[in-house]
Amino acid sequence: MNEKNLHYHTINHFVTCEGFHYERIRLSYELFGPPLSDRKNVVLVCHALTGNSTVAGERGWWNKLIGHGRLVSLNEYTVVGINIPGNGYDIEDNDGFDHFQHLTVRDIARLFVQTLKAIGISHLHVSIGGSLGGAISWEIALSFPDFVRVIVPIATDWKSSDWVLAFNKVQQQILRNSSQPVHDARMMAMMFYRTPESFSLRFNRSWNQELGMANIESWLLHHGKKLENRFGLDAYLLMNHYLSSHDLSRGRGSFDEAVRQLRARVVMIGIDSDLFFQPACNREAASVLQRAGLDAVYREISSIHGHDGFLIEYEQLNRLLEDVFTETEMTVSPHGQAVVNDLSQHE
């Protein structure tokens, strides 16, 4: 794993929000762009359920957004990616569900901020992430109100809804009962991360003569095998557990009461076809924040691809986030939708 350029930080005597004590937790992370000593603005990228710390570079899973000449320019920003404990990316971390099941998204946020502070980062310009990563960014903003200037939660919500909890329960049942647990759970998950329209556009009921099955069937089998090669059972169980633990209001009263702690600007990005974290929930959350007088906007990706749109619709994502990383101006339409007014050019 040395080619991943992983760095490590150990946190001793960590007590979770629920009071469970960990003698030692070691986190691994990667740095991209200027060294921290250059005092560039720092961007934290919180990875999604199947992601990892390699967010940029040739093998970076978000390298169409982050890099030299990209929206998140590695000339202007130091970018940090931290592996969620137990995600299986670091072979030196063999602990999985049984060890880390006492952690929640809120604990992950605390571990991330402790690590960032320990390596010399006193504040973040932006914390950004999709799905589970967006949930972590939300928690960083509420748990450490003065630590981050802007959060960008993408394709997520302030809580795991009943729909998401139900999904995760079915995932758990598959993972605990299937003869090919990770493989079969991933096949089922892809039905939620994409849409019927996305499947129709790509496959159009086409047939794979060699395999003797529909191309959509072979595609699902491929994704099952791909994730099976990436994830151990414990790691995949753990990532779903983290997602189920997400709730900003836990211990803070209602969501309306919880957000009074916010200091960061909130730029929420939803996807109009998302079957997982539904955009209506984002719009409702944005309304709550705006009524509270907070600096918050909701912007929407238009896509037929559903939840996975944040890993596909890069042109839209770049446009919707331009003002976060460049000198642009943002206004909000009467319907609560964000409209970008680029000061540098007009079409």
Question: What tens-digit pLDDT sequence spans the chain (347 residues)?
Answer: 345 789 999 999 999 999 999 999 999 999 999 999 888 899 999 999 999 999 999 999 999 999 999 999 999 999 999 999 999 887 666 678 889 999 999 999 999 999 999 999 999 999 999 999 999 999 999 999 999 999 999 999 999 999 999 999 999 999 999 999 999 999 999 999 999 999 999 999 999 999 999 999 999 999 999 999 988 999 999 999 999 999 999 999 999 999 999 999 999 999 999 999 999 999 999 999 999 999 999 999 999 999 999 999 999 999 999 999 984 333 333 333 443 333 222 22
C-beta of residue 98 within 8 angstroms of C-beta of residue 91:
no
Q: For residue 281, what is the domain's CATH number? A: 3.40.50.1820
Active site residue 162: no
Catalytic member of 90, 307, 308, 323: 307
Range of the domain at 223: 163-243
Active site residue 143: no
Active site residue 131: yes
In a domain? residue 221 = yes
Assess whether 118 and 168 both reside in one domain: no
Catalytic member of 234, 274, 308, 323: 274
Q: In 3D, which of 109, 64, 104, 114 has the Cα closest to residue 313?
A: 64
Assess whether 67 and 111 both reside in one domain: yes
In a domain? residue 347 = no
Assess whether 134 and 274 both reside in one domain: yes
Assess whether 28 and 143 both reside in one domain: yes
Number of domains in the chain: 2
In a domain? residue 336 = yes
C-beta of residue 338 within 8 angstroms of C-beta of residue 298:
yes
Catalytic member of 131, 198, 244, 303: 131
Assess whether 108 and 9 both reside in one domain: yes
Q: What is the pLDDT of residue 231?
A: 87
Assess whether 140 and 258 both reside in one domain: yes
Assess whether 335 and 234 both reside in one domain: no
Q: For residue 174, what is the domain's CATH number? A: 1.10.1740.110
**Count of CB atoms within 10 A of residue 256's CB?**
12
C-beta of residue 51 within 8 angstroms of C-beta of residue 84:
no
In angstroms, the CA 104 to CA 239 distance is: 10
Task: Using alpha carbons, list the distances in angstroms from residue 76 to 34, 128, 195, 326.
Answer: 8, 16, 36, 10
C-beta of residue 156 within 8 angstroms of C-beta of residue 138:
yes
Assess whether 269 and 187 both reside in one domain: no
